Structure 1
Amino acid sequence: MNKSWLSKERLIQYLLIISIITVSIIGLYVLQLLTRDALLKIFNAINNVLIPFVIAFFLSFIIGPLSTWMHEKLKIKRSLAIVFAILIGIIFILAILGIAIYFIVTQLSAVLNSLLLLIDNTSLEGIINDVIALITDYFANSDITDIIDEMSQNGASVERIILLAGSLLASLTRFTSSFVSVIMVFVLTPVFMFWLVKEKTLIFTTLSKVAPKGFRPHVVELGKRSDVVIRNYFKGQGLMMLIIFGFFSVTLGALSFFIPDFPFYYAIVFATLMGLFNIIPYIGAWLGVLAPIIFLLTKHLEMQQSLLGGNIFLIAIVIVIALQLIEQGLEGSIIQPNVLGKQVHIHPLAILSALLFFGGVFGFVGVLLAVPLTGTIKAALEYFGEINDENEKKEKILIEEEKKKGEVKEKVTTPPKKKSILGGKPKNGDQKWEEYRFLKSYIMIMQHLGPFRGCLLG
């Protein structure tokens, strides 16, 4: 019989698990209160190493094929091919960042200049006076004014100087720490990438040996599946970027012929930015479309300033938004399912949750790598689900075999029925049918004459 799901043994197990979890949470909370600064330092140290390693790990799937192609086709040594591939990747990323920063700065400055020129001088002076008044009131109600007055009139006290110097030193320390962390990321990422590309197989083979023997096959299989998922993601994402770049190059390029002061090469730049920003799921597509919208809005404000109208730029903005909606519809219904495939098909809610979680842990880098990380976790969950299904099938087979063995034992232990002295009734039409009838009649007669046999024989 099956045991009840709330039997005494199960209840004890559940209570034990809940007790262990509760005690662990309380212990971690107390430990965090006692060693808050130490844990924060340890977390920051781990984060400083983990961020460049994670970036290098995922970029190695892009740099690896490029270095392999250079090694096989151009006959360059393996190490040099990896170095050249990393340098090409760094130059490409810096070029894209430089173009994006230059465009953002120039366009924002143009928008601000246009807005300032549209505002009349009287209104501008009033706004400036209001801002100055707010700043003056803030400093008048703060301790900074008291410190300045005390330092200028009565001389600064030692306590005030120490307090001010301490706050300045703390701010400088935080800035220096952040700056050093950024530099370490830029320095360590290429180093990690080099060794991950060159010795990836050796590294993961060594890591798998650390696991217990019974778990090693699972570690190897998880590594293979994660490798397939991440490769498929980057291949699919690269192809999607090319498709988006081609779509907006054609559409924005055609639009540039009908819009004044909209050069064709600007359309190519916008298409490139929109394709690259697409690596950030859902959010990146709309961040990329801001570039042409800001540009067209700037042109509209300039035309408004010169009293020449400029409604054509507003129409162009509407067209750009419509093109973005069309592209998003095609991407969600046709491009993404066919390009990325089932390997990285993840629910939108899971992707948005991953963006928030990994973005909170790793910052902007976590936002970029949220999808491949989620795909890796999904592959691991699917693998363990398959193992669970296989174990359930094996259990069912064992139960069926045990049932069959039990039925055989019952048949063996059941006593056989006593056979008749006639050896069973022969079938009608058999040759021994007449003999059978004779013997049966004889036995019946002898049974009836049983009490008289003694007399007859006596």
Structure 2
Amino acid sequence: MNRWDGTPIIRFFGGRNLLYILGVLLMVGLNLFVYTSVAFLFKPILVFFETIALPIILAVIVYYLLRPLIMLMESWGIKRIWGILITLVLVAGLITFLVVLIIPFLEKQLVSLSEELPHYLRQLVNSIDEWLRNSIFAGYYTNTFQDVDSILNQLPDNLSSYAGQTVQGITNLISTVTSVVIAIVTLPFILFYLLKDGKKLPDMLLRVFPPKARPELASMFNGIDHQLSAYIQGQIIVSFCIGIMMYIGFVIIGLDYALLLAAIASVTSVVPYLGPTIAITPALIIAIVTSPFMVLKLAFVWTVVQLLEGKFISPQIMGKSLHIHPVTIIFVLLTAGHLFGVIGIVLAIPGYAIIKVLVTHLFFWFQRRYNRFSDEENKYRIND
């Protein structure tokens, strides 16, 4: 028996394993303390990664969208470099079509909606106020709240109190626009080399590790690639289908700003569970102000679209590739949104899928190693 295992208390808590875990925790705490003390030295590195993060993320998303088309062209006998150039030309033409024909129409609807939205909100508030004054809560409501018109009239004064934050807001907006412009400019170059040499990247990374670990790491890389490919391609197709169905439904029921509201629904549906709630809000406001019957028609369209998406489209396109429980998805979205904002919400699910693959493989390796040692100990015990 080792002298470290002689004490009953130490032996009760795991013997040498306890000392090893305490030593690891001590080293982790020491590293965190040193990092927080010299964090300013790492600021240039953080700025560098923040600068390249957005174009790389966009390039990876577009890479997984275009990779099937490149592989299809290769199966037809077209060289990869020519397939990439043809695909990029097609994408440039599609973007030009959107910019020339669809974007201006959406811009007009967006400007019109932004001008009419205060009117819609005022009508909505007045309708709620009138309903409350004629309901059983009239006495409590009248004694507790001020008149709605006086509250709305005070809005300009309340907004003016935040005028001091305008400069900071403009500065943040300029910084965000600059980052987006840099990402858009550098995206084609990163995407070209990613499409050209993307298949070689896992092999290049594997050469860094010992030969014994390469088969396991290759399996892990394949798992990450499968998860990202299934999620990105499937989610884009599902979002496109939702946008088309919503547009058809809005046109049938005669809802104003049908194309704009359908586009909003298509974009926000990228975020599971929370996206549909965000998308229905502007459409619901317009429907309530229009007429109660329009609310019923909107509810019918929304229910039909959600049923078609949940029962037929998503299972056929995305299947069960991620194997993530809905409650887990909600917690992941809320946590990522609180930590990283809108970008965190968009990247939460694929990020969680990558972490899940990593943790699953690490646990499998640890479990296999532990079982191997356990089998050896049992063999020695049987021989004894």
TM-score greater than 0.5 by the shorter chain: yes
Q: TM-score, normalised by structure 2?
A: 0.72
The answer to whether the aligner puts 1:190 opposite 2:188 as a matched pair is: yes
Conserved? CA contact 1:244–1:275, under 8 Å: yes
CA distance in 2 between counterparts of 1:172 and 1:267 reads 31
Distance 1:249 1:114, change over 3 A: closer
Deviations 1:132-187 (A, max 9, x none): 77789x69xx9x9xxxxxxxxxxxxxxxxxxxxxx98x998766544432221111
Map of 2:321 onto structure 1: 343
CA distance in 2 between counterparts of 1:173 and 1:5 reads 59
Query: How many matched pairs?
Result: 352
The answer to whether the aligner puts 1:105 opposite 2:96 as a matched pair is: no
The answer to whether the aligner puts 1:286 opposite 2:282 as a matched pair is: no
Aligned equivalent of 1:15, options 22, 27, 48: 22
Deviations 1:384-442 (A, max 9, x none): 333334334434543444345x16xxxxxxxxxxxxxxxxxxxxxxxxxxxxxxxxxxx
Deviations 1:33-89 (A, max 9, x none): xx2xx5444322211112211221122100222344456669582341242244256
Distance 1:214 1:253, change over 3 A: same
- Please report how far the alpha carbon of residue 294 of structure 1 lies from its aligned counterpart in structure 2 after TM superposition: 4.3
Conserved? CA contact 1:226–1:379, under 8 Å: yes
Conserved? CA contact 1:63–1:89, under 8 Å: no
Aligned equivalent of 1:367, options 338, 345, 370: 345
SS in 1 for 2:362: helix
CA distance in 1 between counterparts of 2:354 and 2:326 reads 16
What percentage of aligned pairs have identical amino acids? 20
Letter of the 2:86 counterpart: A
Map 1:118-137 → 2, pairs under 5 A: none
- Please report how far the alpha carbon of residue 16 of structure 1 lies from its aligned counterpart in structure 2 after TM superposition: 1.6
Conserved? CA contact 1:245–1:272, under 8 Å: yes
Aligned equivalent of 2:205, options 204, 207, 217: 207
- Please report how far the alpha carbon of residue 280 of structure 1 lies from its aligned counterpart in structure 2 after TM superposition: 1.5
Conserved? CA contact 2:106–2:259, under 8 Å: no
Conserved? CA contact 1:57–1:193, under 8 Å: yes
Aligned equivalent of 1:27, options 15, 20, 34: 34
CA distance in 1 between counterparts of 2:155 and 2:252 reads 45
- The higher radius of gyration belongs to 1
Conserved? CA contact 1:358–1:370, under 8 Å: yes
Map of 2:292 onto structure 1: 314
Map of 1:390 onto structure 2: 368
Aligned equivalent of 2:67, options 57, 64, 68: 64
SS in 2 for 1:199: helix
The answer to whether the aligner puts 1:50 opposite 2:53 as a matched pair is: yes
Distance 1:333 1:135, change over 3 A: closer
Distance 1:10 1:394, change over 3 A: closer
CA distance in 2 between counterparts of 1:401 and 1:102 reads 77
CA distance in 1 between counterparts of 2:122 and 2:339 reads 40
Conserved? CA contact 1:70–1:81, under 8 Å: no
Q: TM-score, normalised by structure 1?
A: 0.62
Aligned equivalent of 1:275, options 262, 266, 279: 266
Distance 1:60 1:115, change over 3 A: closer
Distance 1:190 1:292, change over 3 A: same
Conserved? CA contact 2:84–2:196, under 8 Å: yes
**Unaligned ranges ≥5, structure 1:** 145-166, 257-261, 301-312, 408-458
